[in-house]
Amino acid sequence: MYQTKSHPMKALRDCAVAVLFGAATLSLPAPVQALSLFDQQKYAAFVADANTGEVLYSRRADMQRFPASITKVMTLYMVFEQLAAGTLKLDDRVVMSRFAAGQRPSKLGLKAGESLTVDQAIRSLATKSANDVSVALAEHIAGSSEEFARRMTLRAKQLGMSNSYFVNPNGLPDSRQVTTARDIFILSQATIRSFPQYYSYYQQQQFVFGNQVLPNHNHLLRTMPGVDGIKTGFTNAAGFTLAASAVRDGRRLIAVVLGGPSRVARDSNVESLLSAGFAVLSARDRGQTVQVADLLAEPGDLNDETLRQLVEQGSGDPPPRRR
Contact 241/266 with Cβ under 8 angstroms?
A: yes
**80-82-87 Cα angle (round to 5):** 145
Q: Is 157 annotated as a binding residue?
A: no
10 in catalytic set: no
- Alpha-carbon distance of 240 to 230, in angstroms, equals 14
Identify the active-site residue in 42, 72, 107, 128. 72
Q: Per DSSP, which regions of 187-295 are E strands? A: 206-209, 212-215, 227-235, 239-248, 251-260
CB 199 within 8 A of CB 191: yes
Torsion angles phi and psi, residue 5, rounded to 5: -125, 150
**Three-state secondary-structure class, residue 238:** coil
Selecting among 58, 106, 124, 129, the annotated active-site residue is 129
**Of 150, 129, 155, 134, nearest to 69 (Cα)?**
129
Establish whether 157 is a catalytic residue: no
Rounded distance between C-alpha atoms, residue 83 and residue 21, angstroms:
41
* Residue among 69, 124, 188, 282 flagged as catalytic: 69
Catalytic residue status for 36: no
Q: CA 204, 135, 265: angle at the middle one, nearest 5?
A: 50
Q: For residue 323, count CB atoms less than 10 angstroms from its CB and return exposed for 0-12, middle for 13-18, buried for 19 or more.
A: exposed
Binding-site residue ranges = 231
State the catalytic residues.
69, 72, 129
Q: Which residues are annotated as a binding site for substrate?
A: 231
